[in-house]
Amino acid sequence: MGAIEVPVLIVGGGGCGLSASVFLSDQGVDHLLVERHPDTSRVPKAHYLNQRTMEIFRQHGVADDVLAEAAPLDKFGKVRWQTTLAGDGPLERRLIHEMDAFGGGELREVYAAAGPLLPAKLPQMWLEPILRRHAEERNPGRILFHHELVSFSDEGDHVVAEVRDLETGESTTVTAQYLIGADGGRMVGAEVGIELQGPPGLVNTTTVYFSADLSQWWEEGTLITHFLSPEDPDLSCNLIEMGPRWGKECEQWGLHFAPGPPGRWDNESVVPRIRELLRIPDLEVTVHKVTDWIVHAHLADRYRVGRVLIAGDAAHRQPPAVGLGLNTGIQDAHNLAWKLAAVLGGRATDGLIDTYEAERRPVGRENVDWAVSAAVHHQAVIDAVGAGHNIPAGRRRQRLEAYFDPSPLGDTERARALEIFHTHRGGCQSLDMEVGFHYEDGAIVGDGSEPPARVPMRNEHRPTSRPGHRLPHAWIAAGDRRLSTLDLTGRTDFTLITGPQGTRWCEAAARVAEKFSVRVTTVRIGDGGEYADVDGGWAAVRGISDAGALLVRPDQHVAWRATDGARDAEEALAEVFAAMLDR
């Protein structure tokens, strides 16, 4: 392979890097992706795809393929705590508590109102091949697995990188205008002096990935089932379906034990532990892999240094609680792709790329902190029933017996615990963390309004068209075609949404688009517009009058809004584009 010149080099073919590739291709940006492994992840890892990620996949034509393999919500919309999976002793197979989670059960209606798609569950080992296929179809010959970034240097106006083919040992020089480090924080950030800041590793987690037929005992319908052992805190763990089929048909499983020392088990020695904790002494188990990994709470001090940008775990690492890790990485890539496209296409200056850090780092901070707080709080929840990790072996049985006791005092124990379980909604019902993140500073033109107050548990989302926020979802229709307002957004284009009397804004937008060489799609929603407001949902959230306008970025965040008509619409829009595109 001779020397390569390409606008963007992506390092890392995990969930973040592959998503970045798909998004860049859809923006028409030529790029090369290198991934050192010969194949996508062989371990399941993250498995929850939140609503915002699914909307992004929908915008890029990936959602249908994900949904074809993913578990539907009725197969995972709960979290459960129980003593053991099987066994018939008085404290075995006892349900401690279960609650609706991640849009399941009674939450479904609220989640369905928030967006065009519900969350989905698909572990990374099944998701990444879909992303890889989409990336390769869009960019044939340029998604190079088994290729490693060996070194690179930022030359000021370009990056020069050495990439090695790990099969042949051959090295190639790649010259790129920008380099995206989606390498999980293994190399790129550190090379340019980016520091991942935060406390030392929080806890070692051991994940056991295995196949077994648990259909006889498994109560389907949970994203996570926590087992709180009546005897041994070290046997407390959680069990997660890893597919490829779901519910009782699930064949592969992930068991997470934390805390505990690394290296405590290998593929053989863990088998008796699995049988013991599940209380199935003769269970046939095939262990695929035992991995130890450290849970971190790290945030990069910068997301950009010169021509180098970082995204995904390279920029933030957090406990798996709330499932924000991979989702945040995919959303980083979505924020960055249109900005790179605009700059590389000459429609914006390099300053637009600075807004990536200004917008995404505060979200990274919030998501890391939220995941830590949810993980810590989970300890309080399980302490409440006497099964926390700090409750010693001898006390656990006694406390759980008290919890299940049919006496009036048992009623009190359960009522107390119930109140505490209820506080866990911040850990598994935090819809506003999933779709409510927004930008205060960046490629937006604020209108001086305050953001809506957020519910402390983040389990309520208040949609708003305020600049910086995600465009609110509402169902609209043109003839027989029913679509979400989010479907109006292009992958590269800006979208100007007005009320039915917004014709002047639309005409002005056409002239400004020409001046700035950007594409702006204009739509009017409401009586007399191109789209009907199907059930009044849009009127309830649009935040503008019939004569007002919203400018929406390719990443579906509102860039600017005019609540009403303006005397000089063209001048107003020209100012917005100049500010947003840093021109």
Name the residues that contact ligand FAD, by CB under 6 A: 11-17, 34-37, 43, 45-47, 124, 148-149, 182-184, 186-187, 207, 291, 293, 312-313, 320, 323-326, 329
Which CB atom, from 191 or from 575, has the smaller least distance to ligand FAD? Answer: 191
Burial class (CB in 10 A: 0-12, 13-18, 19+), 269: exposed
- Nearer CB in complex with ligand FAD: 136/313: 313
Which amino acid is present at 549? A
Residue 564 CB, shortest distance to ligand FAD, in Å, is: 42
Q: What share of the chain is helix, strand, coil (3-state, %, to 5)?
A: 35, 25, 40
Question: Please, which residues bridge with residue 178 across strands?
Answer: 8
Q: In what order do the strands lie in the sheet with 481-484?
A: 481-484, 475-478, 532-533
Which is nearer to ligand FAD, 47 or 226 (by Cβ)?
Answer: 47
Cβ of residue 363: shortest distance to ligand FAD, in angstroms?
14
The minimum distance between CB 312 and ligand FAD, in angstroms, equals 2
CB-wise, 49 or 488, nearer to ligand FAD? 49
Min dist. Cβ of residue 67 to ligand FAD (A): 19
Long-range pairs of 167-175 with CB within 8 A, sequence gap ≥ 24: 167/38, 170/1, 172/1, 172/2, 172/3, 172/4, 173/3, 173/4, 174/3, 174/4, 174/5, 174/6, 174/9, 174/32, 175/3, 175/4, 175/5, 175/6
Please state the closest distance from residue 183 (CB atom) to ligand FAD, in A.
4
Smallest separation, CB 136 to ligand FAD (Å): 16
Max intra-chain CA distance, the chain: 79
Question: Of 316 and 542, which has the nearer Cβ to ligand FAD?
Answer: 316
**Alpha-carbon span 251 to 274, nearest angstrom:** 15
Q: Round to whole Å and give the CA distance between 577 and 348.
A: 9
C-alpha Rg value of the chain to the nearest Å: 25
Length of the chain: 583
Structure tokens at 138: 């869009």
Which structure tokens are listed for 198?
């935060």
Specify whether the CB–CB gap between 15 and 328 falls below 8 A.
no
Q: Which is nearer to ligand FAD, 4 or 86 (CB)?
A: 4
Best CA proximity match to 415, nearest among 427, 405, 425: 405
Q: Minimum distance between the CB of residue 428 and ligand FAD, rounded to whole angstroms?
A: 12
How far is 235 from 260, CA to CA, in rounded Å?
10
Q: Which is nearer to ligand FAD, 186 or 482 (CB)?
A: 186
Q: Which is nearer to ligand FAD, 35 or 413 (CB)?
A: 35
Pick 168 or 407: Cβ nearer ligand FAD: 168
The DSSP symbol for 445 reads -
We find the least distance from the C-beta atom of residue 43 to ligand FAD, in angstroms, to be 6
Q: Which is nearer to ligand FAD, 313 or 555 (CB)?
A: 313
DSSP state of 376: H
Q: Give least dist CB 79 to ligand FAD, A.
A: 13
Q: Which C-beta is closer to ligand FAD: that of 324 or that of 547?
A: 324
**Could you give the strand order of the β-sheet that contains 549-552, starting from the edge strand earlier in sequence?**
520-524, 494-498, 549-552, 558-562
User: Of 218, 319, 203, nearest to 258 (Cα)?
Assistant: 203
Minimum distance, C-beta of residue 205 to ligand FAD, in the bound complex (Å): 7
Give me the sign of the Cα torsion angle 160, 165, 171, 172.
negative
Sign of the four-CA dihedral 540, 559, 367, 322: positive
Give the nearest distance from C-beta 11 to ligand FAD in angstroms: 5
